[in-house]
């Protein structure tokens, strides 16, 4: 897969014990350093493969269950390969509750949110990384502090504000706050913008480029990977969000996928095949974006985790 | 928290540009600042005030002084139970995640083939979250037909009823949390790759064995990363909600009554907005105290190379 390429994290040969002097050889099988090394590697691979299997099994099990009929779901010991494959489960799972509607709702909410988050956050990040203004450093510390702030303190007053605005049971409480940008994305983009040489700005300014022009023509085009990362993270987070939709949305026709799944769970308590089919479908968009944008995902984790 | 150094700024030739920069700076950061005031700072202040009132969303909030806090600390055993549940969860799941994440990262950092593939596989579970994952694990933990008890049965072990057994429900959620070690692993791996190879070579020349190299080079060199992960992990774990809501609904016998779930019930099921606000502030202060304690302790075990980081 793609190596991490940001800020010197590039993977270069970091073999830990390549240049080591051979200590005085002992007799017997273990004498050779090479053999010792081989056994060690065998051990490492065994552990890694065992772990990888353990970590993937839940996914395999989910797909397998989603294709069984109920009789097979409740077999003990469980079977891995469904017989027969019941593809109809997916049709049933998606039609018992208005899943299409939930999908559409979630796409509308996440789509608008992501656009707003990326625009406002990138402007703020540009301001924090490129412009000099009084109070900048203090405000940036507040940005960092908000990332660590537990959200539950603001939840109740927010609910009351939106209730007074008659926004409850609309998408607005889920969309509007995000249009102002989010601390995580501001931080991520600022960190990236800092790596763009200042000479670029200066040259553009000499040529008569305005402050906004520099943002639009220099900074944004050079930051596509970071923008991608920020957008993917926003997507993943918004797609799975549960507590906020639970509080702000009431009627099923406005539900997001997360709420729809819960509704579905309450209606189909032991229909595990249908429940797994529905779970599978709702995970799919995030899994697909991960496979296509893996590089950006991992960069995002690394930037925000290592340099915090 | 560490604040990365700000960029050296350019000396502007004209005063007017400086002035424009000042205005543009505020304007461009403006939306975020406005959003912060409207949806974070404002609500926080309102929340303090609400915590001193009694309000069921009908009529006007009634001032009750410290009554909410007094009740919370002296007359509501569920508060203590939920604090205990949440703390136990945070302080077992986070060290487990850090330890296992570090272990996988160290294994991957050996010069192995298919490093990228392994990394993807281990990272995958932490990409998905929320209700779908909670449903999946409810099924895995199913007492009679779940995969986990089927696996235990292979070894002749009769597995517990997991989510419906008050002794096993919380451990079950902790086991589930281990599935997401991948996100930490990616970060440790990047950290490990930044440790200079020369350090290990020098240590080996001096006769240090693998364990000594781990404790005296690896851990100190990536301790800032571990530290940051631990803090963010604990803050996140103390706010666990979805798993408890979907998988156990706080039960059985309040064994998984996570704090946020209890807060949600008070606010949106019993409609006690004042009491729920007081609960929110208690958790907030609890999180701050824990974070400060961890920060304090960090001087003893977190090593910052050079002195620029702090």
pLDDT value of residue A58:
93
State the pLDDT confidence band at B128, using cuts at 50, 70 and 90: confident
pLDDT for residue B170:
95
**B43 & B106 share domain:** no
- DSSP annotation of A80: S
Q: Where does the pLDDT of residue A29 fall: very low under 50, low under 70, confident under 90, or very high at 90 and above?
A: low
Q: Is the model's pLDDT at B13 over the cut of 90?
A: no
A174 Cβ contact partners less than 8 Å away, ≥ 6 residues apart:
A109, A113, A241, A244, A245, A248, A249, A256
Do B107 and B148 lie in a common domain? Answer: yes
> For residues B37 and A275, what is the distance between their CA atoms, to the nearest angstrom?
41
Q: pLDDT tens, B152-162?
A: 988 988 889 89
At A137-170, the pLDDT tens digits run 999 999 988 888 888 889 999 999 999 999 999 9
DSSP letter at B284? H
- DSSP labels, B76-137: -HHHHHHHHHHHHHHHHHHHHHHHHHHHHHHHHHTT-TTHHHHHHHHHGGGT--SHHHHHHH
- Contact call for B277 and A156, based on CB within 8 A: yes
Is pLDDT of B89 > 60? Answer: yes
- Do the Cβ atoms of A152 and B260 come closer than 8 Å? yes
Q: Is B3 on the interface with A (CB under 8 A)?
A: yes
What per-residue confidence (pLDDT) applies to B184? 85
Q: Which two tokens stand for residue A25?
A: 């050889």
Residue A18 confidence (pLDDT)? 44
Inform me whether the C-beta atom of residue B246 falls under 8 Å from chain A C-beta atoms.
Answer: yes
Neighbour count for residue A79 (Cβ, 10 Å): 12
Percent of chain B with pLDDT over 90: 49
| Residue B164 and residue B132 in one domain | yes
Q: What per-residue confidence (pLDDT) applies to A83? A: 82
Position B2 confidence tier, pLDDT thresholds 50, 70, 90: very low
**What whole-number distance in Å separates Cα of residue A219 and Cα of residue A205?**
13
Closest-CA residue in chain A for B147?
Answer: A78
CA gap B68, B52 in Å, rounded: 7
Report pLDDT digits (tens) over B101-125: 999 998 888 878 888 888 889 988 9
Q: Does the pLDDT at position A308 exceed 50?
A: no
Per-residue model confidence as pLDDT tens digits over B212-257: 888 888 888 888 888 888 888 999 999 999 999 999 998 788 999 9
In this prediction, residues A12-28 reach a mean pLDDT of 46
Which CB contacts under 8 angstroms, 24+ apart, belong to B213-221?
B214/B106, B218/B106, B218/B192, B220/B303, B221/B191, B221/B194, B221/B195, B221/B303, B221/B305
What phi and psi, each to the nearest 5 degrees, are found at residue A67?
-110, 10
Same domain, B210 and B236: yes
H-assigned helices in B160-246: 169-178, 182-193, 197-205, 210-213, 219-237, 242-243
Does residue A180 carry a pLDDT above 50?
yes
Residue A235, helix vs strand vs coil: helix
Q: Which two tokens stand for residue A75?
A: 């077999």
Residue with tokens 């993937």: A56
Q: Answer yes or no: do B126 and B259 share one domain.
A: yes
Instruction: Convert the pLDDT of each residue in B36-73 to its tens digit.
Output: 999 999 999 999 999 999 998 888 889 999 999 999 99
A69 touches chain B (CB under 8 A): no
Across chain A, mean pLDDT equals 84
* pLDDT greater than 80 at residue B165: yes
Q: Name the residue range of residue B157's domain.
A: 68-301
pLDDT of residue A71: 82
| Distant-in-sequence contacts of A217-221, Cβ < 8 A, 24+ apart | A219/A122, A219/A126, A219/A130, A219/A193, A220/A122
* CATH 2.60.40.10 applies to domain A92-306: no
pLDDT of residue A3: 37
B window 21-60, beta carbon within 8 A of A: 21-29, 31-36, 38-40, 42-44, 46-47, 50, 57
Contacts of A148 in chain B (CB under 8 A): 1, 231-232, 235, 291
Q: Is residue B7 part of a domain?
A: no
A181 and B238 within 8 Å at the Cβ level: the answer is: no
Count: domains in chain B? 2
- pLDDT beyond 90 at A82: no
Confidence of residue B272 (pLDDT cuts 50, 70, 90): very high
Q: Where are chain A's structural domains? A: 33-86, 92-306
Q: What is the pLDDT of residue B305?
A: 64
Can you give the pLDDT at residue A39? 85
CATH number at residue B240: 1.10.3720.10
Q: Say whether both B41 and B86 belong to one domain.
A: no
Residue B1 has what pLDDT? 42
Which of A51, A154, A243 faces B40 most closely, judged by CB atoms? Answer: A154
Q: pLDDT digits over A234-274, tens only?
A: 998 899 899 999 999 999 999 999 999 998 888 877 788 89
Task: Assess whether B89 and B198 both reside in one domain.
Answer: yes
Query: Count of A–B CB contacts within 8 Å?
Result: 324
Question: Residue B308's pLDDT is what?
Answer: 42
pLDDT of residue A307: 47
Option in A14, A145, A286 nearest B128 (CB)? A286
Phi and psi at B14, nearest 5°, equal: -110, 145
Task: Please report which confidence band the pLDDT of residue B259 belongs to, taking 50, 70 and 90 as the band edges.
Answer: very high
Name which of A36, A38, A59, A308 to mutate to probe chain B: the one with the most chain B Cβ atoms within 10 A of its Cβ.
Answer: A308
Domain for residue B226, yes or no? yes
| Least confident window among A201-205, A223-227, B294-298 | B294-298
Largest Cα–Cα distance in chain B? 81
CB contact under 8 A, A290 and B127: yes
Instruction: Flag whether residue A20 sits within 8 Å of chain B, measured between CB atoms.
Output: yes
- Tell if the CB–CB gap between A123 and B28 is shorter than 8 Å: yes
Choose the mutation target among B3, B9, B19, B25 for the interface with A, i.e. most A CBs under 10 Å: B25
Which region holds residue A130: left if phi is over 0, alpha if psi is between -120 and 50, else beta? alpha
């Amino acid at each position: 897969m793609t190596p991490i390429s940001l800020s010197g994290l590039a993977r270069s040969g970091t073999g830990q014990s390549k240049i080591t002097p051979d200590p005085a050889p002992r007799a017997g099988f273990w004498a050779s350093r090479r053999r010792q090394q081989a056994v060690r590697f065998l051990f490492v691979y065994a552990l890694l493969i065992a772990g990888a299997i353990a970590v993937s099994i839940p996914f395999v099990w989910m797909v397998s269950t989603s294709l069984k009929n109920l009789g097979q779901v409740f077999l003990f010991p469980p079977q891995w390969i469904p017989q027969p494959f019941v593809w109809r489960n997916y049709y049933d799972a998606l039609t018992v509750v208005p899943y299409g509607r939930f999908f559409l709702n979630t796409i509308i909410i996440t789509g608008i949110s992501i656009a707003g988050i990326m625009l406002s956050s990138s402007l703020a990040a540009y301001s924090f990384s490129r412009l000099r203004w009084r109070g900048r450093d203090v405000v940036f510390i507040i940005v960092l502090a908000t990332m660590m702030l537990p959200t539950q303190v603001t939840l109740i007053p927010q609910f009351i504000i939106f209730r007074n605005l008659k926004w409850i049971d609309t998408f607005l409480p889920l969309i509007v706050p995000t249009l102002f940008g989010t601390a995580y994305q501001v931080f991520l983009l600022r960190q990236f913008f800092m790596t763009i040489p200042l000479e670029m700005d200066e040259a553009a300014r000499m040529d008569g480029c305005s402050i906004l022009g520099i943002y639009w023509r220099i900074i944004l085009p050079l930051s596509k990977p970071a923008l991608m990362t920020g957008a993917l993270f926003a997507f993943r987070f918004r797609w799975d969000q549960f507590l906020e939709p639970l509080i702000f949305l009431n009627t099923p026709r406005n539900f997001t996928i997360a709420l729809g799944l819960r509704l579905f769970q309450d209606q189909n308590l032991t229909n595990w095949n249908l429940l797994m089919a529905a779970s599978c479908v709702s995970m799919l968009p995030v899994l697909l974006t991960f496979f296509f944008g893996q590089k950006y995902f991992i960069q995002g984790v690394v930037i925000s985790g290592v340099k915090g | 928290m560490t604040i990365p150094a700000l960029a050296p700024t350019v000396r502007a030739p004209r005063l007017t540009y400086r002035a424009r920069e000042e205005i543009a700076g505020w304007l461009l950061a403006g939306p975020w600042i406005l959003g912060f005031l409207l949806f974070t700072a404002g609500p926080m202040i309102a929340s303090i005030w609400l915590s001193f009132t009694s309000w069921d969303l009908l009529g006007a909030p009634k001032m009750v002084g410290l009554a909410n806090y007094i009740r919370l600390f002296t007359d509501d055993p569920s508060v203590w139970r939920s604090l205990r549940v949440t703390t136990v969860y945070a302080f077992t799941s986070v060290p487990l995640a850090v330890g296992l994440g570090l272990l996988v990262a160290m294994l991957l950092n050996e010069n192995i083939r298919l490093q990228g593939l392994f990394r993807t596989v281990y990272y995958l579970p932490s990409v998905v979250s929320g209700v779908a994952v909670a449903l999946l694990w409810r099924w895995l933990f199913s007492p009679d037909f779940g995969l986990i008890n089927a696996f235990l049965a292979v070894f002749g072990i009769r597995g517990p009823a997991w989510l419906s057994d008050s002794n096993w429900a919380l451990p079950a959620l902790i086991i589930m949390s281990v599935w997401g070690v991948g996100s930490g692993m990616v970060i440790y791996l990047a950290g490990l790759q930044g440790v200079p190879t020369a350090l290990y070579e020098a240590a080996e020349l001096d006769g240090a064995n693998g364990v000594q190299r781990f404790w005296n080079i690896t851990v100190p060199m990536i301790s800032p990363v571990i530290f940051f992960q631990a803090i963010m992990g604990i803050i996140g774990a103390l706010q666990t909600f979805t798993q408890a809501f979907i998988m156990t609904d706080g039960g059985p016998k309040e064994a998984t009554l996570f704090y946020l779930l209890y807060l949600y019930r008070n606010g949106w099921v019993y409609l006690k907005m004042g009491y729920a606000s007081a609960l929110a502030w208690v958790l907030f202060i609890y999180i701050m105290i824990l974070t400060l304690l961890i920060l304090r302790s960090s001087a003893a075990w977190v090593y910052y190379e050079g002195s620029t980081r702090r």
